Amino acid sequence: MNERLQTLDAHTAYGVGAQERNRVLRNTYWLLALSLVPTVAGAWLGVATGITQSLSGGLGLILFLAGAFGFIYAIEKTKNSSAGVAVLLGFTFFMGLMLSRMIAMVLGFKNGPELIMTAFGGTAGVFFVMASLSSVIKRDLSGMGKWLFIGAMVVIVGGIINVFVGSSAGMMAISMMAIGIFSAFMLYDLKRIVDGGETNYISATLALYLDIVNVFQSLLALLGMMGGERD
């Protein structure tokens, strides 16, 4: 009886019913899948035109940070209206453009397409595992948030420093840290939806999208440095 009461307490801790939680999770998955379309379109455009090839070093970093934080701010301001979906999809197109420079570099390897598919498959595998864990873990994971945030800040600051240092070893270390931290973030964000802690599917999609992009980008960087084959 006590176990059943504890389970009930966990599921109603946020005052959100099972039907509402399922609706948010379902809408989040649909929007997350849709968000990949403009991401691919942006990446294709960037690779095909080469418009992001000159965005290296400090200039590229400033443009990326300004664009990303601008979009995130706009998404949070419009998340309670249909405009939030359009802004989110615009953001994913922008992220595709920003990813295109790395994708173009990897495509320069003889086995570039295989590396990209491996990174995509690995990211999908991580997401599947974390989604499965979020549905079976009963423990409250909200305490992870502050530690994951600190870890993400360390990765971001380390990445910014490495832009100017240009260390391959540093890039590998940062990429491995990012894979671990943002994989854990996936579990944390999914568990929040499952437990009813996140009730806005646009905000939920944004959080998961950022987790997925960071894992994919970091995994692709590692594969390129460790397994890229030159002609």
Q: Lowest-pLDDT range, 5-9, 47-51, 88-92, 113-117?
A: 5-9
CA distance 187 to 161: 28
Q: In 10 A of CB 189, how many CB atoms?
A: 28
Please return the burial class of 15, using the count of CB atoms within 10 Å of its CB with bins 0-12, 13-18 and 19+. exposed
Would the pLDDT of 141 be above 80?
yes
Q: How high is the pLDDT of residue 9? A: 42
pLDDT digits (tens, 9 = 90+) for 47-64: 999 887 777 666 777 888
* Confidence bin at 97 (pLDDT 50/70/90): very high
Average pLDDT of the residues of the chain: 86
Q: How high is the pLDDT of residue 7? A: 41
Would the pLDDT of 65 be above 80?
yes
Where do the structural domains in the chain lie, given as residue ranges?
Answer: 16-227
- The whole-number average pLDDT for the span 167-184 is 90
DSSP-derived secondary structure for 18-36 = HHHHHHHHHHHHHHHHHHH
Distance between terminal CA atoms of the chain? 66
* pTM exceeds 0.95: no
Where is mean pLDDT largest: 20-29, 114-123, 138-147?
114-123
CA distance 121 to 34: 18
